[in-house]
Structure 1
Amino acid sequence: MNIKSILAHYSTFEEKALTNRFFKHKDILPLINHLPIEFKVEQLGISVRGRSINAIKWGQGETKVMLWSQMHGDEATGTMALFDLLSFLQTENEIVKLLNESCELLMIPMVNPDGAEMFTRRNAQQIDINRDFLQTATPEAKILRQARDHFQPHFGFNLHDQTTLWSVDGTLKPATLSFLAPAFDKAVSVNEIRKKAMLVIAAIFKDLDELLPQHIGLFDDEYEPRAFGDNFQNAGTSTILIEAGGYQNDAEKQQIRQYYFASILSGLQAISSHNYTSHSIEDYFAIPKNNKQIFHILVHHVVLDGIEVSVGINYDECPNADGNSTYKTYSVQDIGDLSFCDAYEVYDALHCTLQGNILFNSAADFELSHENQLVLAFKNGYLIH
């Protein structure tokens, strides 16, 4: 059974209780508490605001794999994919049997439940948990660090979301998925631990590139001494970072979650079968790099001050007070020759009438119309048409 055939039956094991990015701690607790007996649930501790952080253990194999998600409260795709994985592990097929016999999984969904409640990156103390490994000032960082120290995993999956403005070098496509085997030192050395992570990523890329061509990138491996991935790598856990980016017409990342799930499953399959050993470091470094050559909105053939330019516009997404939705504010991020770029939405201002002002690094506040019909309109940074 290959990954493509599994995704063809995705609806049969997708966790249907999670339908957007804004689910909360109270929404996942019933999913955890109603797991079958073969899933061992343990409360590892509580967050700043008293919400439980739980671990789910499954499998009887010797290879230990730890997977954790939503260290950043507004990065929910990995959590959705983990619950899809939990559902998939309850089905009967050859991959589930192989994983059960080969691996012991420790899954920690929603490391930052207080951040998820507010749909913000940081925890209730305004700390970025993924920059708190050294001081472990936050209870969430302490819990995650202790979980790894106690479980001593051979492999780790660090599950995140990234900005939708990352693109894949040479494609002008959004980086829907990005991978990294984090560095464990400033010299970005490669030892056997990090090499294993690289080889697993190479195996994942081989599977996923067929499903998601030109939409997969590799992050720069600059060392971050405060991050969990870098330090877990240094501690002996081969750590695989997965980031969910953007995909056309998928604001709630319901299509991306399928590819995310497929990435996790592909990695687990490579580990349990030892197929990753058939890959090389060269395969890892051959994965296209991430860059930033896309905008949210790109407008060509705009005449400003007597010259024809392109205008690149991006939005910032901010949570509403209830934590159940967001609002977007748009600003002009570039003006000039953007012929080497692309965007999620592209407009042509040729033969259009411009009203308002387009100012670099300012809120979008203009209208484009054609034959008295609005084509695109912003008011004080808000998209109105």
Structure 2
Amino acid sequence: MDIKSILAHYSAFEEKTLSNRFFKHKDIIRLITRLSLEFNVEQLGISVKGKSINAIKWGKGETKVMLWSQMHGDEATGTMALFDLFNFLQKENEIVNLLNESCELLIIPMVNPDGAEMFTRRNAQQIDINRDFLQTVTPEAKILRQARENFNPHFGFNLHDQTTLWSVDGTLKPATLSYLAPAFDKAVSINDVRKNAMLVIADIYQDLNELLPQQIGLFDDEYEPRAFGDNFQNAGTSTILIEAGGYHNDPEKQKIRQYYFASILSGLASIAQKSYTSQRIEHYLSIPKNTKQIFHILIHNVILNGIDVSVGINYDECPNSDGCSTYKTYSIQDIGDLSFCEAYATYEAKNHTLKGEIAFNKLANFSLVMDSVTLVSFENGNLIE
């Protein structure tokens, strides 16, 4: 499959109504009702606040694949990619025919519609759904768990977003995408179920690494007994975690969604063609690990307390009350030798005058000025543009 050629025609199937991360339940319901008759839509249940959670079935093949997104309401990239996938599956081409003949897909977009409404991670009960597999006190967790039991998929795609501060080991570049075959036990063992997930990921990485060189990492595989991916793996569904991270000048993840879609399509093609059976675990294990060696802002050569230092600044992103936008609060996260780090924005402060105070673990509240020209300025944690 020529992923690069498919992405070259992305505008032909991109769902253009989803143009930022803040779309709501009503927006995706509108899109679901417009799907062609080859998609079978079923309401699985409702959220805490009464919003429908729906599953869409497509394909007539023997291999069952379940895909679910937005367990965390503020992690919207996977949902955007799924609606691009719906549009792609309505095109007439060789890969669509292959998937239709080989696979049956069960797709659950927006598992957490109440969280999406306010653009928050947790549901309306303030519970992290992805830490509710064991007790299943939330209706959303019950629905997702029951959907897997009823469908009994061979493979699963667990679609998330990760913080933009993850980097790729040895590259000093953002981890734009991260993959993982979650552990099913504390020993992080490898059985045939987890092995198959690893091999599919190796195929995905082979396709995507050419498009995103040095910007794909392997997520931490520490066992989390409450998480859905770990438990689905244990239940016999080869589960593939995909995380959307950061990409320069792409705050609404419109570029990342293309690579995210390509990851999903590559994985589905690997499963349909069974090409993963020719892969090797070593190729999965050779994917570089995620690290944290990048900042949102890095300022070099700041004279502070009589010494020359670098200053690392990150922001916390929080939703506004309307759930349709966010605000960023910047704080000082490191001071000293940061020559081994990188950032989304880097400044050189040599010969600049510091106005204000730089204090570790405090809100950014300073300016750097030279000849009345401001290099960068913060006021009580706000970046002054």
1:39-60 Cα shifts (integer Å, max 9, x gaps)? 0000000000000000000000
Q: How many Å apart are 1:353 and its aligned residue?
A: 1.0
For 1:189, the equivalent position in structure 2 comes to 189
In the alignment, structure 1 residue 115 sits paired with structure 2 residue 115: yes
For 1:73, the equivalent position in structure 2 comes to 73
Q: How many Å apart are 1:202 and its aligned residue?
A: 0.3
Name the SS for the 1:211 alignment partner.
Answer: coil
Q: How many Å apart are 1:17 and its aligned residue?
A: 0.9
In the alignment, structure 1 residue 90 sits paired with structure 2 residue 90: yes
Q: Structure 1: how far apart are the matches of 2:229 and 2:280?
A: 21
Q: How many Å apart are 1:351 and its aligned residue?
A: 1.1
Q: How many Å apart are 1:256 and its aligned residue?
A: 0.1
Q: Structure 2: how far apart are the matches of 1:117 and 1:340?
A: 39
Mark the runs of 5 or more structure 2 residues left unpaired by the alignment.
none
Which residue identity does 2:288 align to in structure 1? P
Name the SS for the 1:35 alignment partner.
Answer: coil
For 1:51, the equivalent position in structure 2 comes to 51
Q: How many Å apart are 1:313 and its aligned residue?
A: 0.1
Name the SS for the 1:210 alignment partner.
Answer: coil
For 1:273, the equivalent position in structure 2 comes to 273
For 1:291, the equivalent position in structure 2 comes to 291
Count of aligned pairs between the two proteins: 385
Q: Structure 2: how far apart are the matches of 1:369 and 1:106?
A: 56
For 1:322, the equivalent position in structure 2 comes to 322
367-376 vs 117-126, which deviates more? 367-376
Q: Structure 1: how far apart are the matches of 2:42 and 2:352?
A: 61
TM-score, length-normalised on structure 1?
1.00
Which residue identity does 1:337 align to in structure 2? D
1:283-332 Cα shifts (integer Å, max 9, x gaps)? 00000000000000000000111110000000000000000000000000
For 1:28, the equivalent position in structure 2 comes to 28
For 2:230, the equivalent position in structure 1 comes to 230
Name the SS for the 2:315 alignment partner.
Answer: strand
What is the correspondence of 1:1-385 to structure 2 with a 5 Å cutoff? 1-385=1-385
Which residue identity does 1:349 align to in structure 2? A
Which residue identity does 1:270 align to in structure 2? S
Mark the runs of 5 or more structure 1 residues left unpaired by the alignment.
none
Q: How many Å apart are 1:90 and its aligned residue?
A: 0.1
Which residue identity does 2:238 align to in structure 1? S
Q: How many Å apart are 1:34 and its aligned residue?
A: 1.1
Q: Structure 2: how far apart are the matches of 1:374 and 1:278?
A: 57
Q: Structure 1: how far apart are the matches of 2:158 and 2:47?
A: 19
Q: Structure 1: how far apart are the matches of 2:23 and 2:250?
A: 17
Q: Structure 1: how far apart are the matches of 2:59 and 2:72?
A: 27
Q: How many Å apart are 1:278 and its aligned residue?
A: 1.3
Q: How many Å apart are 1:108 and its aligned residue?
A: 0.1
Q: Structure 2: how far apart are the matches of 1:23 and 1:110?
A: 10
Which residue identity does 2:289 align to in structure 1? K
Root-mean-square deviation over aligned CA pairs = 0.5
Name the SS for the 1:105 alignment partner.
Answer: strand
- Over 4 Å off, 4+ runs: none
Name the SS for the 1:254 alignment partner.
Answer: coil
Q: How many Å apart are 1:170 and its aligned residue?
A: 0.3
1:155-209 Cα shifts (integer Å, max 9, x gaps)? 0000000000000000000000000000000000000000000000000000000
Which residue identity does 2:74 align to in structure 1? D
Q: How many Å apart are 1:87 and its aligned residue?
A: 0.3
Q: How many Å apart are 1:371 and its aligned residue?
A: 1.4
Q: How many Å apart are 1:219 and its aligned residue?
A: 1.0
Q: Structure 2: how far apart are the matches of 1:35 and 1:299?
A: 49
Name the SS for the 2:45 alignment partner.
Answer: strand
Q: Structure 2: how far apart are the matches of 1:132 and 1:182?
A: 16
Q: Structure 2: how far apart are the matches of 1:165 and 1:172?
A: 11
Which residue identity does 1:309 align to in structure 2? V
Q: Structure 2: how far apart are the matches of 1:271 and 1:216?
A: 21
Which residue identity does 1:51 align to in structure 2? K
Which residue identity does 1:71 align to in structure 2? M
Q: Structure 2: how far apart are the matches of 1:29 and 1:192?
A: 37
